[in-house]
């Protein structure tokens, strides 16, 4: 199943597989950074709302994959404006 997953990622241009080495492409690195940013955002948001850290991390992992980049940017911008208005 790992070989199949790596093949799928390679076909999408996200990784390069050479012998036993796997490297992220520029597109793969961008997607990984974008996903990590979403994860950290949701993890902080949940933790700040009082959710247990372990639960927040697990739920952030699910949330990061189901929200589009456009919706995420709008949500984070909106929440940032709300936070700024409370200062």
Give me the number of domains the chain comprises: 1
**Element of type H or E holding 19:** none
Give the pLDDT of residue 87: 67
Number of H helices, E strands in the chain: 4, 2
Q: For residues 81 and 75, what is the distance between their CA atoms, to the nearest angstrom? A: 10
Q: What is the CATH number of the domain that holds 42?
A: 1.10.10.10
Instruction: Report the predicted TM-score, pTM, of the whole model to 2 decimal places.
Output: 0.81
Answer yes or no: are the C-beta atoms of 76 and 41 closer than 8 Å.
yes
* Per-residue pLDDT in tens (0 to 9) along the chain, 87 residues: 898 999 999 999 999 998 889 999 999 999 999 999 999 999 999 999 999 999 999 999 999 999 999 999 999 999 987 877 776
Range of the domain at 56: 2-85
Give the pLDDT of residue 82: 81
């Amino acid at each position: 199943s790992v070989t199949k997953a790596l093949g799928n990622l390679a076909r999408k241009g996200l990784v390069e597989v050479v012998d036993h080495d796997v490297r992220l492409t520029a597109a793969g690195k961008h997607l990984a950074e974008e996903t990590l940013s979403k994860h950290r955002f949701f993890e902080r948001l949940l933790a700040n709302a009082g959710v247990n850290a372990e639960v927040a991390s697990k739920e952030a992992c699910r949330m990061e994959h189901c929200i589009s980049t456009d919706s995420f940017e709008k949500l984070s911008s909106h929440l940032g404006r709300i936070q700024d208005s409370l200062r």
